[in-house]
Amino acid sequence: MRIGELAKATGTKAETIRYYEREGILPAADRTDSNYRDYSDNHLAALTFVRRARQLGFSMAQVRELLDLSDRADKPCQEVDELVHEQLEEVEQRIVDLLSLRDELRLLLRSCQANRIDECRIVGSLARPLGRVTR
Q: At what angle do helices 78-111 and 60-70 cross, to 10 degrees?
A: 150
Confirm whether 27 is domain-assigned: yes
**Residue 44 falls inside a structural domain:** yes
d(CA 4, CA 39): 10
Calculate what percentage of the chain has a pLDDT beyond 70: 95
What CATH number does the domain containing 45 carry?
1.10.1660.10
Q: Are 24 and 45 in contact (CB under 8 A)?
A: no
Q: What domain count does the chain have?
A: 1
CA dihedral 108, 114, 118, 123 (to 10 degrees): 10
pLDDT digits (tens, 9 = 90+) for 74-127: 888 999 999 999 999 999 999 999 999 999 889 888 877 777 777 777 877 787
What distance in Å separates the CA atoms of residue 110 and residue 67, rounded to the nearest whole number?
Answer: 48
Residue 91 lies in a domain: no
Residue-wise pLDDT tens digits, 7-54? 999 999 999 999 999 999 999 999 999 999 999 999 999 999 999 999
Domain hosting residue 32, numbered range: 1-58
In a domain, 25, yes or no: yes
Structural domain contains residue 100: no
Q: What integer pLDDT is reported at residue 19 of this predicted model?
A: 95
- pTM beyond 0.95: the answer is no
